[in-house]
Amino acid sequence: MAHPVSSHSRPPAPLKHVMLSEIVAVTSIMRKNSRWASSSLVVTSRDSPALGTNMGLRISSPAHQTRVSGRGIREAELMAGFLQLKRGVKDMNDIRQANLTDLLSPFFSILRSPLSTGPITSAALSALHSFFVCGLIAPDSPGLDAALIELSSTISHCKFEASDSSGDEVVLLKIMTVIQDCLCGSVGGGLGDIEVCEMLETVLTTCCQMRLSETLRRSAETTMHTLVRVVFSKLYSLDPEEEEAKLLATAADDAETELRMSVTTEGELSSSTKDETDTEKDSAQTEGKQSIEEIGPEMPVVPSVNRPAFGLPSILELLRVLVNVLDPNDQQHTDSTRLMALGILNAAFEESGSMMAKFPSLKAIVVDTGCKFLFQLARSENTMVLHWALRTISTILDTMRIHLKLQQELFLTFTIDRLAPPIPGNFNKGGTLMLSNSKSRSYSPSPKPGTPATGSPSVAPVDKGDAETTASTSSRPVVPPARGETRDMILETLSNIAGHPSFMVDLYTNYDCDINCEDLFERLVDFLTKTVHPTNHVGSMESQRNAQYICLDLLLSFVNDMTARVENDESTSAWPSDSLSAETLLQKKSKKQLILTGATRFNSKPKTGLAFLEENKLIYADLSPEISKPRSLAIFLKGSNRIDKRLLGDFLSRPDNTELLKEYMSLFDFKDKPIAEAIRELLEAFRLPGESQQISRIAETFAAAYFAAKPAEIKSEDATHVLTFSIIMLNTDQHNPSIRKRMTIDDYKRNLRGVNDGSDFSDEFLQNIFDSIRKREIIMPEEHTGLLGFEYAWKELLTRSRQTGDFIVCNTSAFDKEMFKAVWRPVISAIAYAFITFEDDYIIQRAIAGFRQCATLAGHFGLPDVFDYVVVSLSQATGLLSEPPLSQVPNYPVIDVEGQAITVSRLSVEFGTNFRGQLAAVVLFNIVNGNGNFLREGWTQIFEMLKNLFLYSMLPTRMLQMEDFLGGVAIIPLQGTQLQKNPSRNDGGLLSALSSYLMAPYSSDQYVPEATDADIENSLSAVDCIKSCRLDELYSQIIQLEPEALVAAVRALEALAHERTVAKLKINSDDVPPVDGQPYQLPYDPASVFLLEIMVSITMQAPQNIEELWPIVFEHLSTLLKSSTQYSILLIERAVVCLLRLCQLLAQNPSLRDQAYVAFDLLAGLPTNISNLVGEQIMAGLIHVIEKNKDIIKYQTEWNLIFALIRSTMSRAEAARMSLELVESLTAEGTNNAVTTDNFVGLLTVCDDFVTLAGTVQEQHQHRGRRVEPLTSANSPIISRAKKAIDLLPSLHQKLVSFVQSTQIEENQAWKTMALPLLIVLGRHSVHPTREIRHNAISHLQRILLGSPLTNDAEQKKVEEVFNRVVFPLVDELLRPQVAARDPQGMPETRLRGSALLCKVFMHLELRESRVKTDFRLLWIQVLDLLDRLMNVNRGDQLYEAVPESLKNVLLVMNAVGILVPPGSGEDELQKTLWLNTHERMERFLPGYLTEVIPIPDTVTAESNTS
pLDDT of residue 371: 92
User: Residue 1448: exposed, middle, or buried by beta-carbon count in 10 A (0-12, 13-18, 19+)?
Assistant: middle
Residue-level pLDDT at 186:
85
Q: Tell me the C-alpha to C-alpha distance, in Å, between residue 660 and each of 155, 668, 881, 1487.
A: 70, 14, 63, 131
Provide the pLDDT for residue 888. 65
| DSSP H stretches of helix in 1229-1383 | 1240-1262, 1277-1301, 1307-1310, 1316-1325, 1331-1347, 1356-1362, 1368-1374, 1377-1382
pLDDT at 98: 84
Alpha-carbon distance 421 to 716, whole Å? 57
Q: What is the pLDDT of residue 285?
A: 32
Distance, in Å, from the CA atom of 123 to the CA atom of 121, rounded to the nearest integer, reads 5
**Angle, nearest 10°, between helix axes 1240-1262 and 1316-1325?**
10
Q: Which amino acid is at 1186?
A: I
Q: Which of 24, 33, 32, 67 is nearest to 49 (CA)?
A: 67
pLDDT at 96: 81
Q: Is the pLDDT of residue 754 over 50?
A: yes
- In one-letter notation, the amino acid at residue 155 is I
Q: For residue range 567-585, what is the model confidence (pLDDT) as tens digits?
A: 887 767 788 887 888 888 8
Check: CB of residue 1096 under 8 Å from CB of residue 1111. Answer: no
Let me know: does 1116 contact 1089? Beta carbons within 8 Å: no
Question: How far is it, in rounded angstroms, from Cα 1282 to Cα 1219?
Answer: 12
- Residue 903's DSSP bridge partners are 894
Q: What is the distance between the alpha carbons of residues 1050 and 1114, in angstroms, rounded to a whole number?
A: 11
Strand segments (E) across 120-265: none
Can you state the angle between helices 405-419 and 383-400, rounded to 10 degrees?
Answer: 140
pLDDT at 621: 79
900 sits in the region (left: phi over 0; alpha: psi -120 to 50; else beta) called beta
Mean pLDDT, rounded, for 1112-1117: 94
- The mean pLDDT of the chain is 80
Q: Are 203 and 223 in contact (CB under 8 A)?
A: yes
- Residues 1081-1103 have pLDDT tens digits of 888 888 899 999 889 989 988 88
* Phi–psi pair at 291, nearest 5 degrees: -100, -5
Rounded Cα distance between 430 and 451, Å, is 9
Give residue 1321's pLDDT. Answer: 92
The residue type found at 1225 is S
pLDDT tens across 401-437, in order? 889 989 999 999 989 988 886 554 443 333 345 454 3
User: What is the percentage of the chain residues whose pLDDT exceeds 90?
Assistant: 12
Residue 168 CA: distances (Å) to CA of 22, 281, 292? 20, 17, 18
Distances (CA, A) of 284 to 100, 171, 276, 287: 29, 20, 11, 6
Whole-angstrom distance, CA of residue 24 vs CA of residue 127: 10
Which whole-number Å values give the CA distances from 874 to 518, 529, 854, 1032, in the listed order?
Answer: 33, 17, 12, 19
More confident residue, 904 or 980: 904
Instruction: Give the pLDDT confidence of 1341-1394 residue by residue, as tens digits.
Output: 989 888 888 888 778 888 888 889 999 898 888 888 888 888 888 888 888 888
pLDDT, residue 434, reads 47
Residue 1446: predicted pLDDT? 86
Q: What is the CA radius of gyration of the chain?
A: 58
C-alpha span between 811 and 299 (Å, rounded): 53
Higher pLDDT, 552 or 288: 552
Instruction: Give per-residue pLDDT as tens, 12-24.
Output: 668 888 888 888 8
pLDDT band at 1053; cut points 50, 70, 90: very high
pLDDT at residue 10, rounded to an integer: 57
The DSSP secondary structure of 1326-1362, one letter per residue, reads TT-SSHHHHHHHHHHHHHHHHH-TTTTT--HHHHHHH
As a whole number of angstroms, the distance between CA 619 and CA 601 comes to 14
**Regarding predicted confidence, which is higher, 967 or 159?**
159
Model pLDDT, residue 572: 76
Among candidate residues 920, 928, 791, 923, the one with its CA nearest the CA of residue 859: 928
Which pLDDT score, from 0 to 100, does residue 268 have? 45
Q: Is the pLDDT of residue 1120 over 70?
A: yes
| Consecutive H or E run containing 902 | strand 900-903
How far CA 1473 is from CA of 907, 1412, 1418, 1467, in Å, comes to 98, 13, 11, 10
Sequence-separated (6 or more) residues with CB below 8 Å from residue 1117: 1092, 1135, 1138, 1139, 1142, 1162
In the predicted structure, residue 441 carries a pLDDT above the cut 70:
no
Kind plus residue range of the DSSP H or E element containing 818: helix 816-837
The least confident of 310-314, 880-884, 1116-1120, 1389-1393 is 880-884
User: What SS3 state is found at 756?
Assistant: strand
Above 90 in pLDDT, residue 1110?
yes
Percent of the chain surpassing pLDDT 70 = 82
What are the pLDDT digits (tens) for 1398-1446? 888 888 887 766 666 677 778 888 888 888 888 888 776 777 888 888 8
Secondary structure class of 58 (helix, strand, coil): coil
CA dist 879 and 845 (Å) reads 19
The closest of 1449, 1351, 1434, 1360 to 1396, measured between CA atoms, is 1449
Helix, strand, or coil (residue 135): coil
Task: Indicate if the pLDDT at residue 384 is higher than 70.
Answer: yes
Q: What is the mean pLDDT of residues 393-398?
A: 92
Instruction: Give me the phi and psi of 961, to 5 degrees please.
Output: -85, 110
Name the H helices within 568-716. 582-604, 606-615, 629-639, 645-652, 658-666, 675-685, 692-708
Question: Phi and psi for 43 in degrees, rounded to 5?
Answer: -65, -45
Is the C-alpha dihedral spanning 761, 766, 768, 772 positive or negative?
A: positive
Cβ neighbours for 1074, distance < 8 A, ≥ 6 positions apart: 1080
* Structure confidence by residue, pLDDT tens digits, 856-883: 898 888 888 888 888 888 888 888 887 6
Q: What is the pLDDT of residues 840-854, one digit of tens each?
A: 888 888 988 998 899
Residues 478, 484, 489, 492: what is their CA dihedral angle, to the nearest 10 degrees?
A: 90
Instruction: Report the DSSP pairing between strands 961-964 and 900-903.
Output: unpaired
3 state SS for 363-392? HHHHHHHHHHHHHHHCCCCCHHHHHHHHHH
pLDDT in tens, 251-296: 666 544 556 676 666 544 433 343 433 333 333 333 333 333 333 3
pLDDT in tens, 1251-1274: 998 888 888 888 876 677 888 888
